[in-house]
Amino acid sequence: ISTVGEEVISSIGRGLCVLIGIHKNDTQADIDFIVRKILNTRLFEDGNGKRWQLSVKDAGLEVLTVSQFTLYCDLKGNKPDYRHAMGGEAAQAFYEDFFTQLCRQYTSDKVKDGKFGAMMEVSILNDGPVTINIDSPKDL
């Protein structure tokens, strides 16, 4: 569930909550790689309960994406430094391209997003718990 103030922006049932950080040097090739990994990485059990067999796409589950520039934070002393994150307008356009591609490659009504640039509260129920960091290769 993502909320801004008291307003629920998006919510999903079982599936993936994707916190996406956008690096200042990311390109369309990075979008292609990340979308492919989000949709095809086998993170869910099959009908027999065997783990790591189905992707979100295979299982027909939902995806919630939230832009999270703070993923590219470095600490400079005791202060956060976001110099590696893509700047506001460019990052918003990049995120919109990413989200559009994700919707095109999956069932668009199963893909939700937050509100870009807003002070959002994101409630995550980590089922498993499984948290995976996916970063696109530097040589794309």
What is the rounded distance in angstroms from the CA atom of residue 80 to the CA atom of residue 70? 9
Q: Are 136 and 21 in contact (CB under 8 A)?
A: no
CA–CA gap between residue 37 and residue 57 (Å, rounded): 11
Helix (H, G, I), strand (E, B) or coil at 110: helix
Instruction: Return the active site residues.
Output: 70
Alpha helices by DSSP H, listed for the chain, are 28-40, 56-59, 88-105
Which tokens hold the place of 71?
């993923």
Tell me the angle at which helices 88-105 and 28-40 cross, rounded to the nearest 10 degrees. 40
Question: Position 41: which residue type?
Answer: T
